[in-house]
């Protein structure tokens, strides 16, 4: 999807402002991309129409590049379409009763465990898992394995074939044993059928849960919409759980489901492990669908802070070999103004994961700044005059060692060389690519 969108948005590059013609061109591609991600045709069409109106209405924002503005509008709209805000679970009731529904293999049992674990970790909750899948003995065992793993009690009754009775007995068991949350895991079938719908509906009526959740495998694409609709018609459920988002899923199901049943997506499953659960953030999902990290806000923040005239002046200096420590200091301050380093790097697509384990200290610049502050103006503009005795003095003044001063000088030299290189042939293309 992201490749397609890249292509779509590429159409807009190089144009000074957004005109009706290139908006139409771009939106055709965006629509195609959404359809490819299994978004329902009507939804995709409505979506692009809304984006079109917004894009044409916003020609005021000519300072941003049209491509970026377009990305932002598409992203905002996608976020809105998936619900806008984060939605929690209704925890009223003593105990709170949570009912799981969904097809077989959608991830109900796994998610029941994940949710129990998630709530248990909140300290004030003492969940109980109830096994109501009466068709497969293995399903009951599976829930017990899960319960053992996360140290949460499981109620089951293997001889009993009436899921309604088991659910009710489970709730009674919870009340007797001080459990304040009951999570009811149910049976599913491979496709929507009468028997399953009647059964889940009967359980629902009998126990009147505070929260009924519909669990859906995000890899099922278009089918997910029909399944969601069928379950919603019968249960009028409160929220959707999107599982298996750890794979190479396209995520289009999230958009379609929300639009068709108008119920919030509450949690996502991102793996088989009990910890692989996440609250659903519409804006993050939009990013995922757009496949580009939080580029949009990175662009915005950078734009806010970066003075173009300053940048041009700097470029000239680099070209003339006049880039000095004062300029370097200015750059550091510029970067710092943009915010927390880790956050910034996290917003670069692909870099988030990579940088997670690397510790970036926001104070990393402190030593550097101290050294530069201890230099005379002459030394800053012409670092080559910094000899051994000057290094000693700078070290003393900044509270650093001569080695640290040396290291900074070395890094600075390397950087100056690199910047000079960036000015020529290959570098220019690279810089331009980055600008777009």
How big is the site for Mg ion, counted in residues (CB under 5 A)? 3
Binding segment for Mg ion among 107-115, 162-170, 377-385, 388-396 (CB under 5 A)? 107-115
Cα angle 238, 158, 212; round to 5: 0
Residue 190 C-beta: closest distance to ligand GDP, Å: 10
Give the interface segment with ligand GDP, choosing from 106-114, 301-309, 331-339, 357-365 (CB under 6 A).
106-114
Binding of residue 106 to ligand GDP (CB under 6 A): yes
Say if strands 211-217 and 96-101 run parallel, antiparallel, or are unpaired.
parallel
Mark the segment that binds ligand GDP (CB under 6 A) among 11-19, 22-30, 68-76, 243-251: 243-251
249 binds Mg ion (CB under 5 A): no
Q: How far is the CB of 122 from ligand GDP (least distance, A)?
A: 21
Distance (Å, whole) CA 402 – CA 391: 6
* Residues from 186 through 215 that contact ligand GDP (CB under 6 A): 188
Separation CA 52–CA 266 (nearest Å): 29
Q: Shortest distance, CB of residue 118 to Mg ion, whole angstroms?
A: 18
Determine which residue in the list 22, 96, 270, 416 makes contact with ligand GDP, applying CB under 6 A.
270
- As measured in angstroms, the least distance from the Cβ of 182 to Mg ion is 16
From the CB of 237, what's the least distance to ligand GDP, in Å?
15
Shorter beta-carbon distance to ligand GDP: residue 105 or 352? 105
Under the criterion CB under 6 A, does residue 31 sit at the interface with ligand GDP?
Answer: no
- Tell me how far apart the alpha carbons of residues 411 and 231 are, in angstroms, rounded to a whole number: 62
Buried b / exposed e across 40-67, counting CB within 10 Å, b at 16+? beebbeebbeebbebbeebeeeeebbbb
Q: Supply φ then ψ for residue 245, to 5 degrees.
A: -80, 0
CA–CA separation, 69 and 86 (whole Å): 24
Please report, for residues 113, 359, 363, the alpha-carbon distance to residue 340 in angstroms, rounded to integers and kept in the order given: 36, 12, 10
Instruction: Give burial (CB, 10 Å; 0-12/13-18/19+) of 109.
Output: buried
Binding mask 62-101 for Mg ion (x = CB under 5 A): ----------------------------------------
Q: Is 150 in the site for ligand GDP (CB under 6 A)?
A: no
Complex with Mg ion: residue 109 or 398, whichever CB lies closer: 109
Nearest approach in angstroms of CB 131 to Mg ion is: 9
Rounded CA-CA distance 110/274 in Å is: 7
40 binds ligand GDP (CB under 6 A): no
In this complex, which beta carbon is closest to Mg ion, that of residue 11 or of residue 215?
A: 215
Q: Does 269 bind ligand GDP (CB under 6 A)?
A: yes
Least separation in angstroms between residue 207's CB and ligand GDP is 18
Residue nearer to ligand GDP on the CB measure, 147 or 324 = 147
Total H helices, total E strands in the chain: 21, 8
The annotation places the binding site at 102-109, 185-189, 243-246
Say whether residue 109 binds Mg ion (CB under 5 A).
yes
Counting residues that bind ligand GDP (by CB under 6 A) gives 18
Q: Residue 144 interacts with ligand GDP (CB under 6 A)?
A: no
- Cα R_g (the chain), whole angstroms: 29
Of 117 and 270, nearer to ligand GDP (C-beta) is 270
Cis preceding-peptide flag for 42 (omega within 30 of 0)? no
Q: Is 276 in the site for ligand GDP (CB under 6 A)?
A: yes
Nearby residues of 15 by Cβ (< 8 Å), 6 or more positions away: 22, 66
- Of 68, 96, 101, 243, the residue at the interface with ligand GDP (CB under 6 A) is 243
What end-to-end distance do the CA atoms of the chain give, in Å? 19
The Cα 47–Cα 28 span in angstroms is 11
Residues 333-352 that bind ligand GDP (CB under 6 A): none
100, 123, 59: which is closest to 182 by C-alpha? 100
- Closest of 26, 8, 33 to residue 250, by C-alpha: 33
Which residues are near ligand GDP by CB under 6 A?
A: 102, 104-110, 188, 243-244, 246-247, 269-272, 276
Which residues are near Mg ion by CB under 5 A?
A: 108-109, 139
């Amino acid at each position: 999807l992201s490749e397609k969108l890249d292509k779509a948005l590429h159409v807009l590059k190089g144009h000074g402002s957004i005109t009706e013609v290139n908006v139409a061109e771009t939106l055709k591609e965006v629509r195609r991309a959404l359809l490819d991600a299994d978004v329902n045709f009507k939804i995709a069409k409505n979506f692009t129409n809304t984006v079109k109106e917004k894009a044409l209405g916003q020609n005021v924002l000519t300072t941003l590049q049209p491509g970026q503005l377009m990305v932002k509008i598409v992203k905002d709209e996608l976020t809105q379409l998936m619900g806008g805000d984060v939605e929690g679970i209704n925890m009223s009731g003593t105990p709170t009763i949570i009912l799981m529904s969904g097809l077989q293999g959608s991830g109900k049992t796994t998610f029941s465990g994940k949710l129990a674990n998630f709530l248990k970790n909140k300290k004030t909750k003492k969940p109980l898992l109830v096994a109501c899948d009466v068709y497969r003995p293995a399903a009951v065992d599976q829930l017990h394995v899960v319960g053992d793993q996360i140290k949460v009690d499981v109620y089951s009754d293997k001889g009993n074939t009436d899921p309604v009775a088991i659910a009710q007995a489970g709730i009674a068991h919870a009340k007797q044993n001080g459990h304040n949350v009951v999570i009811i895991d149910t049976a599913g079938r491979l496709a929507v059928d009468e028997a399953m719908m009647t059964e889940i509906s009967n359980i629902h009526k009998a126990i009147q849960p505070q929260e009924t959740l519909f669990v859906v495998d995000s890899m099922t694409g278009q089918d997910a919409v029909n399944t969601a609709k069928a379950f919603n018609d019968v249960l009028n459920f409160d929220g959707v759980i999107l599982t298996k988002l750890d794979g190479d899923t396209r995520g289009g199901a999230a958009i379609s489901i929300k639009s068709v049943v108008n119920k919030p997506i509450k949690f996502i499953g991102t793996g088989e492990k009990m910890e692989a659960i996440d609250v659903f953030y519409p804006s993050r999902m939009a990013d995922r669908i757009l496949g580009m990290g939080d580029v949009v806000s990175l662009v915005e923040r950078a734009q806010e802070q970066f003075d173009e005239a300053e940048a041009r002046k700097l470029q000239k200096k680099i070209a003339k070999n006049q880039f000095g420590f004062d300029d370097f200091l200015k750059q550091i301050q510029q970067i710092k103004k943009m915010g927390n380093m880790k956050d910034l790097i996290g917003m670069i697509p692909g870099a988030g994961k990579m940088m997670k384990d690397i510790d970036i200290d926001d104070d990393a610049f402190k030593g550097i700044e101290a050294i530069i502050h201890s230099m005379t103006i002459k030394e800053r503009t012409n670092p080559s005059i910094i000899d051994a005795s000057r290094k000693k003095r700078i070290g003393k003044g900044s509270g650093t060692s001569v080695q640290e001063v040396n290291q900074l000088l070395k890094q600075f030299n390397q950087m100056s060389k690199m910047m000079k290189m960036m000015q020529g042939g290959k570098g220019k293309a690279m810089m331009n690519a980055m600008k777009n």
